[in-house]
Structure 1
Amino acid sequence: MQFGIFTVGDVTPDPTTNRTPTETERIRDTVAIARKAEEVGLDVFATGEHHNPPFVPSSPTTLLGYIAALTERIILSTSTTLITTNDPVKIAEDFSVLQHLSGGRTDVMLGRGNTGPVYPWFGQDIRKAIPLTVEHYGLLRRLWREQVVDWEGELRSPLQSFTLAPQPLDGIPPFVWHGSIRTAEIAELAAYHGDGYFANHIFWPASHTRTMVELYRKRFAHYGHGTPEAAIVGLGGQAFIRPNSQDAVREFRPYFDNAPVYGHGPSLEEFASLTPLTVGSPQQVIEKTLGFREYAGDYQRQLFVVDHAGLPLKTVLEQLDLLGGEVVPVLRKEFAVGRSPDAPDAPTHQSLLRARDAGTGSSAPRNPES
C-alpha cells in the first residue's frame, strides 16, 4: 500500500501572524515539502492544478520535473490534471517527458476541476464537462498506446497521422487515477478502462465514499478486470498531528477557522466528526485512517493534505516527521493484517513493465453496453 501527501498549492495568510507568503516562497516551499516527504519514507507526492489565485500550481509537470531532479525514489503524481480544459495531446507529451526525466516515477490523476471560470479561459464550456472528460480521455489513451493516431471527435479538431514524441518510457503509459468527489460517471469511466479510482473524500461523510467506491468496484468487475476486491482505489485524507492531542487542536484551530474552503462554517469538532479530518495525536490519526477500510475495503493509496490553510513551512515539515516516523509505519503494518489476497498492490511503472513482459497485463474492457 502506498502512502503520501498531496497539495492544493494555496497561498493563504497565516492567521496567527497575518503574513502571506509570496508566490515564490510557496512554490519553493512545495519543493521542500516534496523532498521532505521522500526523506521520511513516504511513497507519493502529488500536486493539484489550479489556474486562479490564490493558488500557484498552474503547471504541475514543470513543478514535478524540477522535483524529479532533486529526488530519487518518491512517485510524482498530480492530484488533479484537468482532462476537461487541457488538450489531450499536451497531457500526453508532458507526462511522457516527465516519465523519462523521473525514470518512470510518474503517474497521473485526472479530474474535471471545480472552478467554473477555468473552462472559458481555455475555450471550453463547463456544461460539457462530462462529454469533454470522456472524449479527451479516449484520445489520451490512444496517444499513449498507438504509434500513429488518426482520430475524430465532436469537441476537438481531428488528428491525422499524429505520432506522440516522446513515446512513453518503455512503452508503458503512466498509470491513470480518475479523481472524483461525487460524480458517478467518473467512477464508471475508471471502471470501464480498468484504471484507478481516487475518492478524495476530505469534505464528505463516509457513507458517500462507501457508495462511490462500491459503485466503482462493482463496475470494475462487470467490465471483466477481475473481482471487485481487485479494483485499484485511493483515498484522500487530512491530518494535523502533535504528540499531544490537546496541543494539536489548540494549534490547528485558528488555521481551520480561517481556511478558505471550510473556514467560518462548522466547528473543527463537527467537521472532524463528519469527514476524514483528524486533528490529534499520532495514535488518533492511525485509528481513524485504519477505519477507512471499513467502508472502502482494502485499498491501494492513501494521500494526506498537510500544508494548506496558511500553515508555515516549519510546521508542515514537523507534520511530515510525525507522519513518516510515527503514523505511516504503523499503518503499513496494520493495513497488511487480514488483507484480501485479491487486493493488488498499487501499480508502479516497474510492476506494469513486469506484467507486460510476463504477458499478464490486464485484458481489454468489454463493450460498456454489455
Structure 2
Amino acid sequence: MQFGIFTVGDVTPDPTTGRAPTEHERIKAMVTIAKKAEEVGLDVFATGEHHNEPFVPSSPTTMLGYIAAQTSTLLLSTSTTLITTNDPVKIAEDYAMLQHLADGRVDLMMGRGNTGPVYPWFGKDIRAGIPLAIENYALLHKLWREHVVDWKGKYRTPLQSFTSTPRPLDGIPPFVWHGSIRSPEIAEQAAYYGDGFFANHIFWPASHTQRMIALYRERWAHYGHGGADQAIVGLGGQVFIRPNSQDAVKEFRPYFDNAPVYGHGPSLEDFTRETPLTVGSPQQVIDRTLGFREYVGDYQRQLFLMDHAGLPLKTVLEQLDLLGEEVVPVLRKEFAALKPAHVPDAPTHASLLAARAAASDQQEVPVA
C-alpha cells in the first residue's frame, strides 16, 4: 500500500501570529515538505492545481520536475489535474515530459477542481463540467496510446494526423487516478477505463465515501477489469498529530477554525466526529485510518493533507516525522496483513513495465 501526502498549496496567515508566508516562501516550503516526505519513508507527494488566490500551485509539472531532480524514490503525483479547463494535448505532452525527467516516478489525478470562476478564465462553461471531463480524458487517453491521432469532438478543435511529443516513457502512459468528492459520473469514468478512483473524503461522512467507492467497484467489475475487490482505490484525509491527544486538539484548533477549505463552519469536534479528519495521538491516527478499510474494503493509496491552513513549516516537518516514524510503519504492517493475495498494489511505471514484459513472454510461449 502506498502512503503519502498531498498539498493544496494555500497561502494562509498563521492564526496564532497573523503572519502569512509570501508566495515565494510557500512554494519553497512545498518543495521542502516533498523532500522531507521521501526522507521519512513516504511513497507519494501530490500537489494540487489552482489558478486563484490564496493558492500558488498553478503549474504542477514545473514544481514536480524540480522536486524530481532532488529526490530518488518519491512518486510524484497531482491531487488535481484540471481535466476540464486544461487542453488534453498539453496535459499529454507536459506529463510525458515529466515522466521522462523523473524516470517514470509519475502518475496523476484527474479532477474538475472546486473553483467555479476557473472555467470562464480558460474559456470554458462550468455547466459543461462533466461532459468536458469525459471528452477531454477520452482524448488524453487516446493521445498516450496511439502514435498518430485523428480526432473530432465538441469542446476543442479537431486533430488531424497529430502525434504528441514526447511519447510516454517506454510506451507506458502515466497511471491515472480520477478524483472526485461527490460525482458518480467520475467513478463511472474511472471504472470504464480501468483507472484508479481517488475519493478525497475530507469533507464527507463515511457513508457517502462508502457509496461512491461501492459504485466504482461495481462498475469496474462490470467492465471486465477484475473482481470488485481488485479495483484500484485511493483515499485522502487530514491528520494532525502530537504525542498527547489533548495537545494536538489545543494546538490545531485555531488553524482548523480559520482554514480556507473548511473553516468558519462546524466545530472541530463536530468535524472530527462526522468526517475522517483525525486530530490526536499517533495511535488514534492509526486506529482511525485502519478503520477506513471497514467501509471501503482493501485499498491501495492513502494520502494525508499535512500543510493546510497556515501551519508553520516547522510544525509540518514535525508532523511528517511523527507520520513517518510512528504511524506509517504500523499502518504498512497492519494493512499488509489484512490484504488478500489477489488484491493488487497500486500500479507504478515499474510494475506496468513488468506486466507488459510478462504478457509478451506468455504470448511467445508455443502451444503444444
1:243 match? 243
Q: SS at 1:292's partner residue?
A: helix
1:69 equivalent to 2:74? Answer no
1:270 match? 270
1:191 match? 191
CA distance in structure 2 between the aligned counterparts of 1:125 and 1:311, rounded to whole angstroms: 35
Aligned residues: 361
1:55-134 paired onto structure 2 within 5 Å = 55-134=55-134
Q: Deviations over 1:230-266 (max 9, x none)?
A: 1000000110000111111111011011111222211
Shift of 1:307: 0.1
CA distance in structure 2 between the aligned counterparts of 1:358 and 1:171, rounded to whole angstroms: 15
For 1:340, give the aligned amino acid: P
Shift of 1:360: 7.7
Q: SS at 2:330's partner residue?
A: helix
Shift of 1:338: 2.5
1:324 equivalent to 2:311? Answer no
CA distance in structure 2 between the aligned counterparts of 1:33 and 1:79, rounded to whole angstroms: 15
For 1:194, give the aligned amino acid: G
Q: Deviations over 1:257-290 (max 9, x none)?
A: 1111222211111100011101000000000000
CA distance in structure 2 between the aligned counterparts of 1:32 and 1:70, rounded to whole angstroms: 10
2:179 match? 179
Q: What is the percentage of aligned positions where both structures have the same residue?
A: 78
CA distance in structure 2 between the aligned counterparts of 1:338 and 1:65, rounded to whole angstroms: 35
CA distance in structure 1 between the aligned counterparts of 2:158 and 2:336, rounded to whole angstroms: 48
CA distance in structure 2 between the aligned counterparts of 1:261 and 1:42, rounded to whole angstroms: 24
CA distance in structure 2 between the aligned counterparts of 1:96 and 1:264, rounded to whole angstroms: 40
Structure 1 portions without partners, runs of 5+? 362-370
CA distance in structure 2 between the aligned counterparts of 1:56 and 1:43, rounded to whole angstroms: 23
1:46 match? 46
The TM-score with structure 2 as length reference comes to 0.97
2:351 match? 351
1:303 match? 303
Equivalent residues of 1:135, 1:153 under 8 A apart: yes
Shift of 1:341: 2.5
336-345 or 101-110: which moved more?
Answer: 336-345
For 2:316, give the aligned amino acid: V
- Please list every run of at least 4 consecutive aligned residues from structure 1 whose deviation after the TM superposition is greater than 3 angstroms: none
1:159 match? 159
Equivalent residues of 1:229, 1:340 under 8 A apart: no
Q: Deviations over 1:206-229 (max 9, x none)?
A: 000000000000000000000001
1:200 match? 200
1:244-263 paired onto structure 2 within 5 Å = 244-263=244-263
2:366 match? none
Structure 2 portions without partners, runs of 5+? 362-368
CA distance in structure 2 between the aligned counterparts of 1:129 and 1:300, rounded to whole angstroms: 28
151-160 or 257-266: which moved more?
Answer: 257-266
CA distance in structure 2 between the aligned counterparts of 1:50 and 1:288, rounded to whole angstroms: 30
The TM-score with structure 1 as length reference comes to 0.97
For 1:86, give the aligned amino acid: N
CA distance in structure 2 between the aligned counterparts of 1:265 and 1:126, rounded to whole angstroms: 26
1:367 match? none
For 1:14, give the aligned amino acid: D
CA distance in structure 1 between the aligned counterparts of 2:123 and 2:314, rounded to whole angstroms: 40
Shift of 1:155: 1.0
